[in-house]
Amino acid sequence: MMKIGIIGCGYIGRIIAENFKNEVSACYDRNIGSMEKISEIVTRDIACSFEKIIKMDMDLIVESASIEAVRELVPKVLENGKDVLIMSVGALADPKLLSRLKKLAFENNCKIYISHGAIGGLDAIKSASLTGVRKITLTTRKNPAALGMNPTKEKIVFEGPASEAVTKFPKNINVSVALSLAADKEAYVKIIADPSVDTNIHEISVEGDFGKMNLVFNNLPSENKRTSILAALSAVSLIKNLKSEMFIY
Ligand SMILES: NC(=O)c1ccc[n+]([C@@H]2O[C@H](COP(=O)([O-])OP(=O)(O)OC[C@H]3O[C@@H](n4cnc5c(N)ncnc54)[C@H](O)[C@@H]3O)[C@@H](O)[C@H]2O)c1
């Protein structure tokens, strides 16, 4: 049985707890009520502190908190020799943080996992990158409320590189950074606020020596309007892969 720790006990953290009730052994959130909710879900009193998560015997820590948590807490997780699944992938748009985390993982013999999140196809894009990706674009269309905005008609609210997109929309566009990491090339991003949609739509187009790839995801938002249901399921599925004798990604 795996021992799992959760940093960030919001929507994704709760889905992890529901799916791995016996395996979640510790959690941490700056909001005490959110940690109590995890204990309720797993129907046990579990350790609720960051210090305990990094000192206890753990097989995997799931970061499902924020970009700030990746910056401040994930280095300590790796320093303590723990594998980590990072959901707030937008943090890795910062090249200094990315290389620091990779160095810590190497020095402490740990792994950093990135799940496919709110999109899919990272596996195929990563394979395509082996012969070079020439162009990678992402067009994201969301209801303005999901972007924390209120235009009353369709509007392009951002166009530019993924690293800039994530500084303007840190809670919305993690997928652009995941794509850039998989492609080994920065994705070009367009974000459209569209009051006529109530799903989170991501259209991805990739070109390289392998040929061309077009992917479209039309995701239902979760109870957290910014987060698609598929993103939480990607974390569950990755953990199931790690536990299974057959790894499908
Ligand atoms: N990779 C993807 O495709 C993808 C998709 C959706 C969401 N996400 C990211 O996953 C993360 C979690 O999403 P969610 O929907 O569960 O969010 P949420 O807002 O429901 O929950 C986040 C929780 O983390 C806690 N938290 C935030 N920063 C913290 C810190 N520094 N220290 C302690 N606790 C902290 C908050 O109090 C909150 O309870 C977000 O960063 C989100 O942007 C990634």
- If you take atom 18 of ligand 1, which residue's CA is the nearest one? 10
230, 188 Cβ separation under 8 angstroms: no
CATH fold of 122-224: Dihydrodipicolinate Reductase; domain 2 (3.30.360)
Q: Tell me, what's the pLDDT at 139?
A: 98
Cβ contacts of residue 101 below 8 Å, gap of 6+? Answer: 70, 74, 75, 78, 92, 112
Q: Tell me, what's the pLDDT at 239?
A: 98
221 C-beta closer than 6 A to ligand 1? no
Instruction: Output the CA 88–ligand 1 centroid distance in Å.
Output: 7
Which DSSP category does 19 fall into? Answer: H
Instruction: Output the CA 11–ligand 1 centroid distance in Å.
Output: 8
Residue of 231, 29, 236, 241 lying closest to 117 (CA atoms): 231
The C-alpha angle with vertex 169 and arms to 163 and 172, in degrees rounded to 5, equals 105
Q: Is 161 helix (H, G, I), strand (E, B) or coil?
A: strand
Q: What percent of the chain has pLDDT over 90?
A: 97
Residue pLDDT, tens place only, 230-247? 999 999 999 999 999 999
Q: Tell me, what's the pLDDT at 52?
A: 96
16, 62 Cβ separation under 8 angstroms: yes
Can you read off the two tokens belonging to residue 77?
């997780």
Residue of 9, 5, 16 lying closest to 31 (CA atoms): 9
The one-letter amino acid at 215 = L
The C-alpha atoms of residue 116 and residue 27 are separated, in whole angstroms, by 23
Residue pLDDT, tens place only, 101-127? 999 999 999 999 999 999 999 999 999
4-117+230-243: in CATH 3.40.50.720: yes
Q: Which of 37, 141, 202, 226 is catalytic?
A: 202
29 C-beta closer than 6 A to ligand 1? yes
First to last CA, the chain: 21
Residue pLDDT, tens place only, 119-156? 999 999 999 999 999 999 999 999 999 999 998 999 99
Q: Taking the domains of the chain in order of start, what are their residue ranges? A: 4-117+230-243, 122-224
Residue pLDDT, tens place only, 155-208? 999 999 999 999 999 988 999 999 999 999 999 999 999 999 999 999 999 999
Ligand 1 atom at minimal distance to the Cα of residue 12:
16
Instruction: Output the CA 134–ligand 1 centroid distance in Å.
Output: 32
Q: At what angle do helices 229-243 and 11-19 cross, to 10 degrees?
A: 40
- If you take atom 17 of ligand 1, which residue's CA is the nearest one? 10
State the average pLDDT over residues 47-74: 97
Q: Tell me, what's the pLDDT at 151?
A: 84
The C-alpha atoms of residue 1 and residue 87 are separated, in whole angstroms, by 22
- If you take atom 3 of ligand 1, which residue's CA is the nearest one? 117
The answer to whether residue 116 is catalytic is no
Ligand 1 atom at minimal distance to the Cα of residue 114:
1
12 C-beta closer than 6 A to ligand 1? yes
